[in-house]
Chains A and B, each alone.
Chain A
């Protein structure tokens, strides 16, 4: 059974970049036809799909974030990553990684709270 775990800094200063990593156990991110996905949940708000990286390496992003988002992968480390540039307080959220099929998501990581503040 594939499991995912997010990691990264919990505090990022405004205008800086947010970088998170999702470590996959129980499976390879370079096989299986999966879409390795990032989703976020702003405090007290709903869920927002950020984007994915396909197991073959192609990516697709939410247009609302596209100019600031990069999703990449390191197959040797069984990891994929999220970078979000020029962050503001509005980017404060719990960030989840998940497997997409490609358009439903299961399972999810436990999530990581990232606060944007000076």
Chain B
């Protein structure tokens, strides 16, 4: 299985800050990577597919980049509703696997 890691595991930030989360795959996955946002008590929501393709309705302050084994999710100016846990997921090969998550907390 492809192992996914994320850093940091948690981050504290303020409204208006720029935040970057890194996701690494244990082997190359081209651009087959997705990012999800999960608010407490809610199901994950797809934000980005194919490493950088923003889903319809997702604010443009979210962006994704990377290919191969290293990927980033950037939130350009944090809003109160962005405080949540973020997961990456490799979509290159079975079984699909997720990262352990990055919890974004209010400073």
B contact residues, range: 20 to 34
What's the minimum C-beta distance from B37 to chain A, rounded to whole angstroms? 11
* Contact stretch, chosen from A18-26, A83-91, A99-107: A99-107
Closest to B94 in A: A60
Beyond A103-B91, A104-B49, A106-B55, whether A49 also contacts B43 by CB under 8 A is no
Contact B32 A103 (CB under 8 A): yes
CB of B46 within 8 A of CB of A62, answer no
- A55 contacts B by Cβ under 8 Å: no
For the residues of B in contact with A, the DSSP-based class is loop
Which of A48, A96, A103 lies at the interface centre, i.e. has the most chain B CB atoms within 10 A of its CB? Answer: A103
User: Please, could you name 24 A-B residue pairs with CB atoms under 8 Å apart, sorted by A?
Assistant: A46-B98, A46-B99, A46-B100, A46-B101, A47-B44, A47-B98, A49-B98, A60-B94, A63-B94, A63-B95, A64-B95, A96-B43, A96-B44, A103-B91, A103-B92, A104-B89, A105-B89, A107-B45, A107-B46, A108-B43, A108-B44, A110-B42, A110-B43, A111-B43
Chain A residues with a Cβ under 8 A of chain B: 46-49, 60, 62-64, 96, 98, 101, 103-111
Across the A-B interface, give the 5 residue pairs with the lowest CB-CB distance, nearest first. Answer: A103-B91, A106-B46, A108-B43, A47-B98, A62-B95
